[in-house]
Structures are given as C-alpha cells and as structure tokens.
Structure 1
Amino acid sequence: MLLSPEFLLQLLQRFIKSSIQIKQIHSLLITNGDLLSIRSPSTFKWTTTLLYNALIRAYLNIHLPRTTLILFTHMLSHNIPPNPYTFPSLAKAAAAITPSLIAKPLYTQAFKRGVLADPFVQTSFINLFSQSGHLSCALNLFDEMPEPCIVSCNAMLDGFCKNGDMDSAVSFFKRMPKRDVYSWTTIVNGYTKKGSHETAIRFFQMCVRDCSVKPNEATYVSVLSSCANSDMIGGLLYGKQIHAYIIKNQDEITSFIGTSLISLYGKTGRLQYATKVFQSLTKKEICTWNAMIGALASHGKENQALEMFEKMKIDTCHPNEVTFVAILAACARAKLVEQGLEYFQSMLPEFGIVPKMEHYGCVVDLLGRLGFLLEAKDFINRMPFEPDASVLGALLGACRLHGNIDIGNDVAKSLLELEPWQCGQHILLSSIHADVANWEYATSLRNVMVGVGVEKLRGYSMVNWM
C-alpha cells in the first residue's frame, strides 16, 4: 500500500532532525513519484512544493547544505514552483558552502519567483549577502524594505560587523528605532572579533546599564573572550566583575559561559578559579574540557592536563582536534616523547581524527625539545603535506636550543623562502650562530635584515598587579 504524500509530509515534519528517518522518507517519496511534476496535477502542486520545502529544511537541519541546494535544482527541473518558505533555508545552505558564488544566482531565482516582498526572504538574503562579502547588495536590499523589523535591522547590523566595518555598525546601531539583546551582542561580538577588546567591554557595560535589555549566553561569551584577550591590566578585573554579575543574574552558569570563564582564568594564570568553575558545571561540553586541559598544560601542570584527558574519556566525551593540540603540547612541555607519540598515532585509528598541521607542529616541538633533531627533520619530510612556518619554526627553535647549526641553516633557508619578511627567523638563525661564537656570520645576518628592510619588533613588559 502506497503512503499518501500528506502522511509522508507529516512524518517528515515529525522527524525533521533525524538523519536516518529523513533519508528513508525521502526514498519513499522518490519511489512513490511524489516529487515529480507529471504525478502532481496543477491543483495539487502546492503539496509537492510543501514536500520539497520540508525536505530542504530537513537536510539543512542535519547539516547537509549541499544536498539542500541539489534538492532545489531538482525542484526547478521538475517544474515545482518554490514559494516564500523555500528561500530562507536555501539562503542558509548557500551561506554554509560558498556564499560568494551562490548568493546572486539564488537571489535572481527569488526575484523571478516574485517572493522578494516577503520580509523573511529579504532578511535571509541580507544575511547571505553579508556572509558573501556583498555588503553593498545587503544594504541596498535593506533600504528597499518599507518597514524593516528588528530582525532585519539586526541582520544588517550583523552584516556590518561580519565585514569588519564597525564604524558603520555603530552608526547604524545608534539609528535603530529599537534595540534588543541581539543588537547589543552583535556589537560586542563585532568588536571582540576585530580585537578592539576595550571597546567590546565598554559596550557590554552600556548594555548592562540599559534596563530594557538582559545579556544572554552569547553576550557573556563574547565579552569574556575580550576580557581574556585584552592587553590592558583591567581585563582580569572586568572578567571577575562580569563573573559576579553572571552569578547574581543567571539561574546557572551554562557550559559555554563556563568555558569562557575557564579560558579567562586560564589565560591570566588563575588556575584555582578555572578549576573551581570547571568543577561547578553540571554539564561539560568538549570545549569545556579542552579549555581546562589547555589551561593546565600552559601553566606547568602537564601531568594534571593528561589526567584530565583520561577523565574526559571516562566521562564518554569524545575528544576533537583541539583536544589533541592541547595534549600534544602538554607532552612536549613535560618532555614525554613516547606518550606524546602514542597519542599522535592514536588520533586516526582510535578517534577518527585526521592530524592537521598543528598536530604535526606539536610532534616536531616534542621531538625537538629532547634533542631528537634528525628524527624531527625526518618526521617533517614524511608529512602528507608541505610544512608551514609554524612547523619549521618549531624545529628551528630546537636547533638553537641544542646548538645544531647544520640543520638550523637548512630549516632557516626553507623558512626564509616561505616568509622572507618575517624578522623572527633571521633573528633566531643569527642567535644560533652567536651561541657558538660564530660572530661574523651572526653579524652578517643582522646586516642582511637591515639591507632588505626587515625590522625587529620592539619588546615590552607589562606588570599584572592583580
């Protein structure tokens, strides 16, 4: 007995986030011919449009944006008319793949179908154009809206921030007739991503003073990131104040807010605070474990970091790429070569994680710190891709540590080909020769720097009084 399209549509809406059921229902729709125009009389084509819309949204929900867009091409080839509910999901799918290539053709389709008057469609394309770098197109579309709602305004505001145009973002923000928590969070996050951490903190303080707005999880995560990365002495002080504000105003500290607090206290060397936050969390995401492991590893608590990794596995939390960067770095600092190599070799077979450049760099650092320079060089030669400056820099640093001029010269040559204008490799190679009293060559390297206009960055000191 064939299942009716209406019943399959209900099933699809019920299992909208279940990958297996979505694919099974899709197969039934294909088998029944429910997605073909020849099986859909004009009076019932709207049902087929609903089926396609549900499938498009379903595949987007299970993170298959390419399939979402392919479904749209099938829809067009079978003469099934899209409606205003079709395009918002398509715009999100396009933004997740290659927005710069798809944005304008998709907009053309929406224009041809006469659905651009719909505010949801307009807002979706404002997001898509912003994501693809077509900020002027997004602004033109926004200006065409007769009465833009707060959601559309926030989309345009986010577009300015995503493209780094914070002056236009603030100007637009001040002209908005109404601002909600998403408006404030967008500005705070925009300044955080641009590295203007003091300004991000200042806007958060203004948000708190606005009685009509209560910060949400995303607001806290953004401002705590600014506190953690701020060069100013007050970064930790503001972070503590925000922590107190969260305790006072939130029912609980979520895993993502907790992760941001752990990162803040970890970067500022307050491990006791980081540990206390970690232990207080009822639910820990993988990013929470990574933040705690990284905090321990970067402050001389390598063995504790490795113990935390074992606890994470017992807690059935699956490690990811970031976890192994922290673990391999901990092994390098603790000079645990065998254990570090075991972790590296277990990544793919045990956890299904393909090692990336950062992982190879950690292994080179691990081998180099103990003087296994030939092994490190051979490891680089066996990498499945060409090493970048971070990997070669780790080996060059090890060459200086152990006074190996021969390998140091070879590595420095490769580094200078990659980044000829970086001062670090010139100075490091010069220092290697200076350490073995080869003053003439060390001086010549410094003169080469002057000749090609490479300047050494000035160092500075900062006292943290907290």
Structure 2
Amino acid sequence: MSYSGEFLLQLTQRCKKLPKQMKQIHSLIITNGHLLHHPNAPSSSLSDQWMPTLLYNALISGYHIHNHKALLLFTHMLANQAPPNSYTFPPLLKSSSLPLGTILHSQTLKRGLLSDPFIPSTLLALYARNYFLPHARRVFEEFPMFCIAMCNAMLNAFSINGHMEAAVALFERMPQRDVFSWTTVVNGFALNGKFGASIRFFGKMMSHKDVVQCLVKPNEATYACVLSSCANLYGQAALDCGKQIHGYVVMNEAKLGVILGTSLINLYGKMGSLSNAEKVFRAMCVREVCTWNAMISSLASHGREKEALDMFEKMKLHVLKPNSITLVAVLTACARGNFVKEGLELFRSMWHDFGIEPIMKHYGCVIDLLGRAGHVEEAAEIVRNMPFQPDASVLGAFLGACRIHGAIELGEEIANKMLKLKTQHCGQYVLLSSMNAEKERWDHAADLRREIMEAGIQKIPAYSMVHWT
C-alpha cells in the first residue's frame, strides 16, 4: 500500500516517543521512496521539494536519544542531497560529544544557519556542558543581535562552569529578562554550593519590578531551586524561609505540582518537620516516583522506619515502578530499623522484581544493615563478592561494624585486599590501625601503618575551624 509523504510525516511527529512505532514508520518511508531527493525533477508543490528534508528532520528528532542512529540518518540525508535546514541540527547537537559537535558547528556555518537563535543556543549549551567556556562565549558574542534565549543559554554556561560573577554581570546588562533568566541565576548559585546567595537572589527577584509589575512570575522550577538551597542550608532561618515560600505558593498557586511538592517534602524532611512533609504529600493531586522517594527518605531519616516501609508498599499499590533512589531509601530504612530479613530480601530481588542492578549505594546500605545487626561474617562475604571494588562508604560501614563487634581479623582481611589493590581509602586503614591499638595489638597496628606508607597511600590532613554565630 502506498502512503503519501504528508501522511507519514504526521505519523512520525506523533510517534516520536514510541521507538517501536518509529521503526515501523521509518520502514514505510523508505519503501515508499520518500527519502530520495530529486532537485531537478518537476514537483507539484514546494512542500514536495522539501518533503525528504522534513521527513529526515522528523526521524532525526525521533532518534536523537540514540545518537548513532540520528547521525547515520544525517549522513544518508547528505548522500541523498536532501538539504539540511535549521531544524536538522539542534537534535543532533543535543546528544553529541565535543569532537562531533565541532564538525556539526562547521556544517551550520557553511550552510549559513547561525542566524536562527535556536542553533547557536544549542551550540553554546554543547560547549558549556563540555566545559569549553571560551568556545561558548565566542558563539554568544558572534550572534549579531540581542536575544533573550541566547543570553539565558550563556547565563547557564557561566553557571555550570562556576563563573557566577560573570553570570550576574551578564544578567545585569540584559535589557530584558524572563523567568528563565532569574531561575538560571538562582539555580546557578545553588549548583556552585552558594545556597545563601541563591536565596538572596530569589529575594531580589521577588522585590524587583519584573515581579512586582507582573512582568515576570516565578514558576515551579524557580521555587524548586530556592527550596533546594533552603534544604541544603539547614537551621531555623532556612526552614522559616522555606515556609515563607510555601505560604507564597499557597496564596498564588492553584495546586502543588510534582516538582514543587517534592521540593517541599524534601525541605521539610531534611529539617525534621515531618508533619508538614506529610501535609504536602497528602495535598498533592499527582505524585510521581520522586515524590514517594522524598517521603520515604524523610521517614527513614527520622526514626520512622516502619512507616517508610509501609509507604513503599503503598507506592507499589499505585502501580509506580521504584527506581534506584527508592531502593536506597528503603534499604536505609531497613538498616536503621533493624529489619534485616526485609532488607536482604529486597536487596536480593532488586533485579528480578524491579530490573535494577545494585550499585555502590545499595551495597553500602546492605553492609550497614548487616553490620548494625552484628552479622559481620555475612557482610564480609558480600564485600568479597561485590562486582566492583568497594568505595570509602562501603569500607567505612564494614570496618565500623568490625570495630563495634570486635571482628578485627575480618577487618584486616578486607583491608589487606584493599592494600594489594592500592586503593586510596586512607581513612579506613587508619580506622583499622586504631582498632588494633584499642585492643593493644601494637604490632598489628604498626605493621598496618607501615604497609600503608609502603603502598604510597597518603593520610589526608585534618583541619579545625571556628564558626562565629
């Protein structure tokens, strides 16, 4: 059966997020000959001349998360003489590595496509995420006119590369700003660990004429950024600031979205205000996996481990698939609540039940679970059989359990293996040496310290700090 190019183009645009259907439509486009470009052939309409380009663009956009497939389509596009346009390059650039990105950059320059702000802003983002800030700045400076989208992309480039002074300077020079401009700077301070500055900049936004005169209104992402900064500062002042933002949202927003609601739960959970976290959770009309994760983590972190496990069961009843973060939160609850059986069953069934391969954090949780319960031998067996080298958190949890339960020989066995691998977890070796000293095993302590020095492992020097309040 023959299908028109217009019909297949509509299908492609509708099925971009459906990989199986995209492959079927791709096959129909090929078999119907719509990807062949004949520049000198007579055409009934201008759309017929551009149909191969339009179809290639739609396919590239649909395949761009699989970069190799999108690139293969792009090479076929060039081979079939279908001319790329300003819609061809952004999806390719979004998933490209730096060397390939520079080649695509030269293609856009050769074809005179850099006047469309969407392409330069995507190029700018490519260089920024690869930490080539001078290249990003050059793309920005070569754009011939003021464009708020380009300015926002440059603000983000400065932010992710840690140049917040330059970001603020550019922000101040911008003749116009939108909510994305303000949010990018608020988030930029948070990304660089300047949480107080993030909150202060949000305060500046709320008192600025852009907001007062209703030219700009904070969106869900803005609130989420500043609430994250509050959660990372701790203390009553940060909690009060978060409550004020919550109050403003309630007064000005119709409902709590997923991002905003999850941010509030995370804030209240970190601050120990579980009653407020639960109120937000109940008030949300829509809850995603991240929302449940925040609530489970909050309960697990404040002595309500059984409720955290019950929340996990309720989550599964809502037909939501737990992710890796969910299982870290649940395993943490099991460790702190001494639910050894439940924790081990969950850990051993992660792949079978949820399709999740255990990562380092999951191993750290289960070692902590067994260590707290005194099952040091079983913990050692898991450490021995890990599919990758244990990191400092796993070793710390294991050696901490060895110290509490007096299993020094087991600790030495694991530490000796780490020494042979010349891992650089100096704190764990020093801990083991101290354990030997506590038991007055002076020879063992001295031997271990000598082996540490011979392995070239440097002890990280400590420091002291006076904090004025």
TM-score normalised by length of structure 2: 0.90
User: Which position in structure 1 is the counterpart of 2:112?
Assistant: 114
2:30 maps to amino acid: I
Q: 1:334 to 1:231 in 2, by over 3 A?
A: closer
1:1-150 matches, cutoff 5 A: 1-37=1-37, 41=41, 44-60=48-64, 63-94=65-96, 99-150=97-148
How far apart in 1 are the matches of 2:166 and 2:102?
A: 23
Q: Is the 8 A contact 2:328 2:362 kept in 1?
A: yes
How far apart in 1 are the matches of 2:417 and 2:42?
A: 67
How far apart in 2 are the matches of 1:70 and 1:132?
A: 23
Q: Does 1:179 align with 2:177?
A: yes
Offset of 1:208 from its aligned partner?
0.9
How far apart in 1 are the matches of 2:348 and 2:308?
A: 19
1:154-169 matches, cutoff 5 A: 154-169=152-167
1:20 maps to amino acid: K
How far apart in 1 are the matches of 2:237 and 2:430?
A: 33
Q: Is the 8 A contact 2:220 2:259 kept in 1?
A: yes
Q: 1:456 to 1:116 in 2, by over 3 A?
A: same
Q: Give the gaps of 5 or more residues in structure 2.
A: none
How far apart in 1 are the matches of 2:9 and 2:329?
A: 46
How far apart in 2 are the matches of 1:271 and 1:232?
A: 15
Could you report, residue by residue, the CA deviation over 1:317-346 in whole angstroms, capped at 9, with x for unpaired residues? Answer: 110000101111111112222211111122
1:84 maps to amino acid: S
Offset of 1:257 from its aligned partner?
0.8
Offset of 1:70 from its aligned partner?
2.6
1:351 aligned residue (348, 354, 357): 354
Could you report, residue by residue, the CA deviation over 1:343-392 in whole angstroms, capped at 9, with x for unpaired residues? Answer: 11221111111111111121111122222222212112222222222222
Offset of 1:215 from its aligned partner?
0.9
TM-score normalised by length of structure 1: 0.90
- Residue 95 of structure 2 aligns to a residue whose secondary structure is helix
1:325 aligned residue (312, 328, 333): 328
User: Which position in structure 1 is the counterpart of 2:379?
Assistant: 376
Q: Is the 8 A contact 1:373 1:398 kept in 2?
A: yes
1:30 maps to amino acid: I
User: Which position in structure 2 is the counterpart of 1:298?
Assistant: 301
Segment of structure 1 superposing worse, 291-300 or 438-447? 438-447
RMSD over aligned Cα, in angstroms?
A: 2.6
Q: Is the 8 A contact 2:121 2:149 kept in 1?
A: yes
1:259-274 matches, cutoff 5 A: 259-274=262-277
2:423 aligned residue (410, 418, 422): 418
Q: Is the 8 A contact 1:217 1:256 kept in 2?
A: yes
Q: Is the 8 A contact 1:69 1:93 kept in 2?
A: no
Offset of 1:192 from its aligned partner?
0.7
- What percent identity do the matched residue pairs reach? 50
The count of corresponding residues between Structure 1 and Structure 2 is 454
How far apart in 1 are the matches of 2:172 and 2:395?
A: 48
Offset of 1:48 from its aligned partner?
0.4
How far apart in 1 are the matches of 2:42 and 2:106?
A: 24
Offset of 1:197 from its aligned partner?
0.4
Q: 1:257 to 1:325 in 2, by over 3 A?
A: same
1:230 aligned residue (209, 230, 233): 233
Offset of 1:77 from its aligned partner?
2.7
1:370 maps to amino acid: A
How far apart in 2 are the matches of 1:327 and 1:40?
A: 65
Segment of structure 1 superposing worse, 396-405 or 41-50? 41-50
Could you report, residue by residue, the CA deviation over 1:224-252 in whole angstroms, capped at 9, with x for unpaired residues? Answer: 11100115552112111111111112111
Q: 1:461 to 1:326 in 2, by over 3 A?
A: farther
Offset of 1:412 from its aligned partner?
3.7
Q: Is the 8 A contact 1:403 1:435 kept in 2?
A: no
Q: 1:285 to 1:192 in 2, by over 3 A?
A: same
Q: Is the 8 A contact 1:192 1:222 kept in 2?
A: yes
Offset of 1:102 from its aligned partner?
2.2
How far apart in 2 are the matches of 1:399 and 1:129?
A: 48
- Residue 47 of structure 1 aligns to a residue whose secondary structure is helix
